[in-house]
Amino acid sequence: MELKKGLLGFYNYTVILTYAGMLAGFFGIVCAATDNSFGALLCLMFSGLTDMFDGAVAATKERTQAEKNFGIQIDSFSDLICFGVLPAMIVFSVNKSVTVMIICGLYVLSALIRLSFFNVDEQERQLTSSEQRELYYGMPVTLSALFIPVVFSAFSLVKRGLDIALIVTIIMMGTLFLLPIPLKKPKMPGKIGFIVVGLLAVVLVMLAHSRV
């Protein structure tokens, strides 16, 4: 590889959303660690929103192979922070038992394995195709940005069973991350649907926060 001048990495507009999402994920982890569940949930949902469009933004620019490979890597590293560590921290902040700590650790591990496998699979796919990916296997880790806020808020409103519901949710998600279930990549109508559901989740989170 040619010796790079200046800072390592790439800093054009194609990576801005990924960087913003990762920072939101880190701020969310800090919120969860200080028992600020409301802030953690908002950061999680913001990260989900940035992840939804970072690929579309990146596709608007003609990139070198190095830029494409870099994009694959940072997207997955960011996803691990935002949709692996952050959801686990939110759940652990509700129930700090050793059992929950282990469950949360296994959830993060399953996210790590899925994302690492995706990186390998995507790099191999790009060697033979320049087309956009149409099919994924296993549940995307980004869906935690919807499931965790909805479950957290719904059970906060009914004021019972929150910790059990969150534990069951991350066990199910961690399992679905690794099952080779084929899922089509959502087109714009699907993304709009996710945004609508996300907005409803925001309302639910705000409502739950107001009742605390």
Q: Where are the domains of the chain?
A: 13-127+135-210
Q: Is the pLDDT of residue 5 over 70?
A: no
Q: State the Cα–Cα distance between residues 40 and 34, nearest whole angstrom.
A: 10
Give the mean pLDDT of 20-41. 96
Eight-class DSSP state of 34 = T
Give the helix/strand (H/E) hosting 198.
helix 188-210
Which tokens hold the place of 27? 């701020």
Among 83, 76, 78, which Cα is nearest to 117's? 76
Residue 23, pLDDT score: 97
pLDDT bracket for residue 101 (50, 70, 90): very high
Q: Which residues pair with 182 in a beta bridge?
A: 137
Q: State the Cα–Cα distance between residues 119 and 73, nearest whole angstrom.
A: 7
Q: State the Cα–Cα distance between residues 21 and 81, nearest whole angstrom.
A: 9
Cα–Cα–Cα angle for 168, 52, 200, rounded to 5 degrees? 60
* SS3 category, 184: strand
Taking a C-beta distance cutoff of 8 angstroms, is the pair 142, 48 a contact? yes
CATH code, 13-127+135-210: 1.20.120
Q: State the Cα–Cα distance between residues 163 and 157, nearest whole angstrom.
A: 13
pLDDT per position as a tens digit, 148-203: 999 999 999 888 899 999 999 999 999 999 999 888 877 777 777 777 888 888 88
